[in-house]
Structure formats: C-alpha cells, structure tokens
Amino acid sequence: MSNENANEKKILALEDIPGVGQKTLEKLRNAGFVDLMALATASVKELSEIVGEQTAIKLIEASRKALDIGFETAADVYERRKKVVRLTTGSKALDNLLGGGIETQAVTEFHGGFGCGKTQVGFQLAVNVQLPVSEGGLEGGCLFIDTEGTFRPERIRELAEAIGLDPDEALKNIVYARAYNTDHQILLVEKAAEIIKEKNIRLIIIDSVTSHFRAEYTGRGELAERQQKLNRHLHALQRLADVYNLAVYITNQVMARPDVLFGDPTAPVGGHVLGHFSTHRVYVRKSKSNTRIARIIDSPYLPEGEALFAITPEGIRDIE
Ligand code: GTP
Ligand code: MG
C-alpha cells in the first residue's frame, strides 16, 4: 500500500464503527465529532458528557482500533514533510515572510481588523493556486467556504485576468460553499474529502473561521464549549491538509477590546485555541492607503518579522 493510501485510510466516517445508532451519531455530529480521528483523540470525560460513559469508552476504543493509531518514525515524518510545497500570495515580501509562501500540510491564519485585507488575500490565493508550479501555484483548485457572504466572483475574474488566467476557467476551479452556521461549516469540512479528490483541490479557504462561532456562543458559560468545538474543527482542517498535502487559509477578525488595559488590546477573540492549532499566524494591520503590514505571530519555525504588501486593482502585490 502506498503511503498516500495508508494516510487516506485514516479519514473514516463515524458510520464505520459497527453498532452505533443514528441518535448517537447525531449527538456526536452536533458536538463537532465528524470523523474517527476526532473520536480517537477525545477524552472519555468530554465524550461521556455527550453519550454517557459506557458508550464513550466503547467509541474511543473502537475508533482507535479502526484507525490503527500508532507511531510514525521520524523517517516517515521526514518523507511526508518533503512533499510540502508553497503557494505564492502575489507579494514576494509576504511570501518571504512566510518562508516562501503559504505552505501545504499546514493551516495559515490571517487575523486583523476590518478592511485589513484578509478576504482579498483569500481571493488572490484562490486564483494563484491554479497557476503552474513554476509560477508559484499548485496546479489545483480551491474550496472556498464563505461564512460572511463576502465572496465576489467579479473580483476573482479581475485577479485571474491580471495573472493571465482565463476568468471563466478560474471561476470553475473554485468550489464555493456558503456556510450558514457552525454545524453547517463543520459539515462542509466533513464532506470535503470527496470534492478534494474529484476537483484536485489544493487549497481550502474559510473566510472567516470564527464569525459563526462568535455569534452562536456568546455567554460566558458557553466559552469552553465553543473553544472545544472550534478546536475539533481546526483539527479536521489540519488532517485534510496533511492527508491531501494541501494548504489551508483561514481568516479571523480581531475586535478591539477596550476592556483590556494591559497587553495587546487587539488580541483575537478566537483566543488561544486558534493560536494553538494554526500552524502559522499572521497579524495584518493597515498602513497608508492601500499598504498593509503583516507580522508573523508565534510560528513553530518561521522567524518573527514584518512585511509590507499592497492591495492593488490587480490584486496582492509588493509595494512600488
Ligand atoms: P473584514 O472581513 O471586514 O474583517 O475585512 P477584511 O480583512 O476581509 O478586508 P478585505 O479583504 O475585504 O479588504 C478590504 C480592502 O481591500 C479595502 O479597504 C480595499 O482597500 C481593498 N479592496 C477590496 N476590494 C477591492 C477591489 O475590488 N479593488 C481594489 N483595488 N481594492 C479592493
Ligand atoms: Mg473579509
């Protein structure tokens, strides 16, 4: 069996565990458990709250067995990492900041305030991914999950034309889905495997990953639940990135927090969970007119630093 198939085996549906009733499946889904890996890595305690302790133990054991969870050697990790490729943002300065572009097998999060360019960067990546490898692309399609209704096909056409792509073809290579709430957003990611294979998807975008979570879980008492669910969602994205060697780009709007007197007043409300699971986090802020400043925030191996880029009529570019 090739390495890829062995990996693919690891994304299994909940239905693959024998003897689990529809009601239990539904409860699990509602809580954000969308595949066997989510169950296999859950704690008995958190699962017990959803399905009761006996079932929780049974589910965790069965999913671990089905997944054949074991260890990878450093050599396996090295082989997998060798396949990492990078996607250009359109700006050399921004690419350099990211170590050569947005990388596959990783989740890259851009956060920043209103109008800082998170969505525009997403549009640019959605067309750039279609470019030949020699031009910084990944020769594949994009899955665009829109939670805020800000997707603009007209703008995609402009960006495609500016880099010499046929605008009609460019639109056809972007699979679009509007997510209406957190459960729907999670479900779209759960169902993504099929479309990834069918359409040769090399980039998944969620713009924004946090807005529905914020809107639905507002009370203080719900914070822990929100973080857990978001956390599992991000895990699912990371797994897709690893298994299909694709890039994931997510956005997260930061809100000013006047209640915070010390520390960073623009700390993202998504909180530490996002920080923990996004492999690379980039904070973007506005500068003069169409210039933006990007800064790397706690990346496992990228050095800290800043880069300037511009949002031009042609798209994301270096500043003149
Ligand atoms: P929120 O989603 O509100 O948090 O903002 P965002 O970070 O997604 O910002 P977005 O990517 O929407 O960036 C908005 C900025 O991009 C605007 O201030 C414009 O300067 C620029 N922009 C948006 N659309 C166009 C366009 O069609 N042409 C050009 N030249 N610039 C655009
Ligand atoms: Mg936006």
Q: What is the spatial distance between Cα 77 and Cα 180, in angstroms, rounded to a whole number?
A: 37
Entry pTM: 0.82
Q: What ligand 1 atom has the least distance to the C-alpha of 290?
A: 20
Tens of pLDDT, residues 78-110: 888 899 999 999 999 999 999 999 999 999 999
Q: What ligand 1 atom has the least distance to the C-alpha of 208?
A: 2
Ligand 1 pocket test, candidate residues 288, 311, 314, 316, most atoms within 8 A of CB? 311
Residue of the nearest CA to atom 24 in ligand 1? 120
Q: Ligand nearest 152 Cα, by number?
A: 1
Q: How far is the CA of 122 from the centre of ligand 1 (A)?
A: 11
Tens of pLDDT, residues 181-208: 999 999 999 889 889 999 999 999 999 9
What DSSP assignment string belongs to 147-193?
Answer: SSS---HHHHHHHHHHTT--HHHHHHTEEEEE--SHHHHHHHHHTHH
Q: Walk me through the domains of the chain, giving residue ranges and CATH numbers.
A: 10-67 (1.10.150.20), 80-317 (3.40.50.300)
Q: What ligand 1 atom has the least distance to the C-alpha of 253?
A: 4
How many beta carbons lie within 10 A of that of residue 168, not counting itself?
9
Residue of the nearest CA to atom 30 in ligand 1? 313
Q: What is the spatial distance between Cα 262 and Cα 46, in angstroms, rounded to a whole number?
A: 34
When mean pLDDT is compared across 37-41, 101-105, 149-153, 239-243, the lowest value belongs to 37-41
Tens of pLDDT, residues 206-231: 999 999 998 998 877 888 888 888 98
